[in-house]
C-alpha cells in the first residue's frame, strides 16, 4: 500500500465510521418495525403491542367474552377496560362454549383469583369441559377516540 492510499484511508476514516453507525441504526430500526402498532399517543408516537401487555386480570371483573377464530384470541370485557387473551395452543372449542371455567396456578386466595400467564381457561359446552387453553399473554385493548378539535 503506497503513501497516497494510506492518507486516503486515514482522512476518510470518520466518514467510514459514520457509515457503519448509520448501517447499524438502520438494522435496529427495521427490527423494531416488525412489532404490531396498536395505536398512537396524543403526540403521534406509536404504541406497540408489547407496551399494552398486562400482568393479570381479576376474574370478578369479567363482564363478557367473545372468541376470535381468526386470531385464536379471547376478547374479554372487564369493568373498566377490554383485554385480549392470547393462547399457547389452538382453542377452537371456545367458539362453541356456553360457559368459561378457569384454573389459576398463581392465585393463593380462593376469593380473589387473578389469571396470569400459564393459567388456563376451560371451555364448557353442553355441560362438558373441553380442552384447557393455556394463557400465553394478556393485552389491553386500546380504544381509539375520535379527534374532536375545539375552537
**CA distances (Å), 116 to each of 53, 100, 128, in order?**
11, 16, 24
| Structure confidence by residue, pLDDT tens digits, 56-85 | 898 888 898 888 888 889 999 999 899 999
Mean pLDDT across 108-122: 84
Per-residue pLDDT at 32:
56
C-alpha radius of gyration, the chain, whole number: 25
List, in sequence order, every beta strand (DSSP E) within 1-151: 37-40, 46-48, 57-58, 62-68, 73-78, 82-87, 99-103, 114-115, 120-125, 128-129, 133-140
Amino acid at each position: 500500500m503506497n503513501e497516497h492510499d494510506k492518507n486516503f484511508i486515514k482522512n476518510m476514516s470518520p466518514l467510514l465510521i459514520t457509515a457503519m453507525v448509520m448501517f447499524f441504526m438502520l438494522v435496529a430500526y427495521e427490527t423494531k418495525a416488525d412489532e404490531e402498532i396498536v395505536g398512537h399517543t396524543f403526540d403521534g408516537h406509536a404504541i406497540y403491542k408489547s407496551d399494552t401487555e398486562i400482568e393479570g386480570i381479576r376474574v370478578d371483573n369479567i363482564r363478557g367474552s367473545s372468541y376470535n377464530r381468526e386470531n385464536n384470541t379471547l376478547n374479554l370485557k372487564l369493568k373498566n377496560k377490554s383485554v385480549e387473551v392470547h393462547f399457547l395452543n389452538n382453542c377452537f372449542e371456545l367458539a362453541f362454549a356456553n360457559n368459561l371455567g378457569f384454573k389459576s396456578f398463581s392465585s393463593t386466595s380462593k376469593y380473589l383469583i387473578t389469571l396470569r400467564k400459564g393459567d388456563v381457561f376451560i371451555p364448557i359446552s353442553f355441560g362438558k369441559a373441553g380442552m384447557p387453553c393455556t394463557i400465553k399473554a394478556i393485552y389491553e385493548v386500546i380504544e381509539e377516540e375520535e379527534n374532536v378539535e375545539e375552537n
